[in-house]
Structure 1
Amino acid sequence: MDHQTRRFGRYDVSILHDGFYEAPIDVLTHASGPAARDGAIATWGRPTLRIVVNCFVLRGPGGITLVDAGTGTSWGEAYGHARTALDTLGVTRESIDRILITHLHGDHALGLFAGETPYFPNARVLVPATELSFFTDADKRLSTPENRRGGFAITETLLRLYPERVDTIAPSGDILPGVTLIPLPGHTHGQGGYLIENGGRDLLLWGDAVHLETLQAADPDVGLVFDFDGAVAVATRRDILGRASDQGWIVSGGHVEGFKTVRRVGNAFELVPAA
């Protein structure tokens, strides 16, 4: 197995690289205000952000499971490479048994669709209950700025194309043997991560709790305008970085390069490649 596939407990976990997301640097935010934001921009030192987009495949008990689904063809030719990565692993879309969604943003969920058909014809789609509740609430949709309503449209499509095959999950009990949901709110209202037991070296796939692994580990108060609730996202980021460090977890996510461990550095953190 290559360096992007590792064994964690009962599962072979492979990172599926879907593409790179690019945005102007002005999407950065900072909990301490404009001066701190300017400092973070100076630290980044480049006019644009370019961050990896990942999803994951787990092979083990219960068959084949995806964690998130990438973008599919919705965002153009720079994305959608997770599908090719699955082919390289010998995994067909028909063989996917279930998809665990961290949150209902395009780079995590649009890959569920092939136009007006489900891309994974035999899969069940599992979504954190709080996330699905938010994105099916008509009042929440009306109170959300129009340019932030993508998750509502994705949810509508999901429920239409996967009828009777969308389930909700709560942060208690196993979703699969040794796999549990960890709530990670802030980036979206109900974002969650998935913790895979591995005898004390557990793996956490944390969705978008961290987008910029160097900048946000060193300063967890750095956020992005895409966070639904920036203050909650900061609190979640600080908490999960601390928990991962204290527990010795290995981590990865939608925008993390490879598998990492989290190390405390004073009041901040550092992500280092997992041994």
Structure 2
Amino acid sequence: MTDSVLKFWRYEVIPLRDGFFEASSEVLTHARGGPERRRTIEAWAKTTVQMDINCFALRNAEGITLVDAGAGTSWGSTFGQARTAMREAGIAREEVQRVLLTHIHDDHVLGLFDEGTPYFPHAEVLVPEKDLAFFTDPCAWRATPEARRGGFDMAEQLQQIYGPRVRRIPEGAVLAGIEARALPGHTPGHTGYLVQGEENSNLLIWGDTLHLGELQSNDPEIGLVYDLDVQMAARTRQATLELATREHWIIAGSHLTGFGRVRRAAEGGGYQISPV
């Protein structure tokens, strides 16, 4: 399904909700270790955490660009809704010219595949170079706990299925009005995309910098076990929340609902995200 649509200079930005994910609250982590993690879980006071899975369509006169592709139907019948939302927005999969990946995890990459063939038959896939380098490195594979190796499988499938249409990108300008910004920690090459708008209305699509908006903005040291580097992810969250506050950016995330703006909390030294 689609949520609200916003216009940023060249682009109409359409959020596409792909599905809804639920996990045990035991997935919560804390950068200061075990006792603080346990206090966080107790304060959460719920047995589960729940979050959207989103991707985004950017439409302009030159065509269609996606940021991420969701989980497709590989996670079951309750996922893959982004494909329906695209059709409802008048976007055919053949029209998609490129997909910008924030990182190489299942719920961002699986939507690119259709039973071993490209779901987007004409699209290039632009991948942060540091993520692709990590997830194709045999030494990194051996050093990564087995439960966290999904990105290696995704990288292999991506290259097999899209072949020469996979293109590595560095930080910096990737398209007119779109800049790749490194947001490491969740994965080594985790990347956000800054979409240029009018004054004080730039949009940062920040991927998985935060999974739980209210909880993690209030305490950026709270993470989830899906962060490959807990400490770096916490530092990135803190820095990104501060930068978004200072620059008055609108933000959107792979697991947040709708668009928001970040401001400092009145008490406690954290931040708050208010809907736009």
Alignment-derived partner of residue 222 in structure 2: 222
Aligned 8 A contact 1:61 1:177 in 2: no
Alignment-derived partner of residue 103 in structure 1: 103
Alignment-derived partner of residue 19 in structure 1: 19
CA distance in 2, matches of 1:128, 1:62: 23
CA distance in 2, matches of 1:162, 1:203: 28
Q: How many residues are aligned here?
A: 272
CA distance in 2, matches of 1:62, 1:116: 29
Q: What letter is aligned with 1:166? A: V
- Once the two structures are superposed, the pairs formed by residues 66-145 of structure 1 within 5 Å of their partners are 66-145=66-145
After TM superposition, give the deviation of residue 35 of structure 1 in Å. 2.6
Which runs of at least 4 in structure 1 moved beyond 3 Å after TM superposition?
none
Q: Which runs of 5+ in 2 are unaligned?
A: none
CA distance in 2, matches of 1:161, 1:48: 35
Aligned 8 A contact 1:62 1:176 in 2: no
The reply on whether 1:63 has 2:72 as its aligned counterpart is no
After TM superposition, give the deviation of residue 34 of structure 1 in Å. 2.5
- 1:207-248 per-residue CA deviation (whole Å, 9 max, x = no partner) reads 000001000000001011111000000000000000000000
Aligned 8 A contact 2:3 2:15 in 1: no
Q: What letter is aligned with 1:13? A: V
TM-score normalised by structure 1 residue count: 0.96
CA distance in 1, matches of 2:78, 2:202: 32
Partner-residue secondary structure (3-state), 2:261: strand
CA distance in 2, matches of 1:77, 1:43: 33
Alignment-derived partner of residue 190 in structure 1: 189
CA distance in 1, matches of 2:157, 2:222: 32
After TM superposition, give the deviation of residue 3 of structure 1 in Å. 5.2
Alignment-derived partner of residue 178 in structure 1: 177
After TM superposition, give the deviation of residue 7 of structure 1 in Å. 0.4
Alignment-derived partner of residue 202 in structure 1: 202
CA distance in 1, matches of 2:17, 2:236: 25
TM-score normalised by structure 2 residue count: 0.96
Identity of counterpart residues, as a percentage? Answer: 47
Alignment-derived partner of residue 239 in structure 2: 239
Alignment-derived partner of residue 163 in structure 2: 163
The reply on whether 1:268 has 2:267 as its aligned counterpart is no
CA distance in 2, matches of 1:120, 1:261: 32
- 1:130-185 per-residue CA deviation (whole Å, 9 max, x = no partner) reads 1111111111112111221111111111101111101111112x211110001000
CA distance in 1, matches of 2:225, 2:62: 37
- 1:28-52 per-residue CA deviation (whole Å, 9 max, x = no partner) reads 0111222322222233221001111
CA distance in 1, matches of 2:137, 2:195: 31
- 1:171-209 per-residue CA deviation (whole Å, 9 max, x = no partner) reads 12x211110001000000100000001123100000000
Q: Which runs of 5+ in 1 are unaligned?
A: none
Alignment-derived partner of residue 41 in structure 1: 41
CA distance in 1, matches of 2:207, 2:3: 20
CA distance in 2, matches of 1:99, 1:222: 30
Partner-residue secondary structure (3-state), 2:163: coil
- 1:62-99 per-residue CA deviation (whole Å, 9 max, x = no partner) reads 31000000001110012110001001001011100000
Which shifted more, 134-143 or 123-132?
A: 134-143
Q: What letter is aligned with 2:237? A: R
CA distance in 2, matches of 1:143, 1:106: 20
After TM superposition, give the deviation of residue 61 of structure 1 in Å. 5.1
Aligned 8 A contact 1:61 1:176 in 2: no
CA distance in 2, matches of 1:29, 1:44: 12
Q: 1:121 to 1:3 in 2, by over 3 A?
A: closer
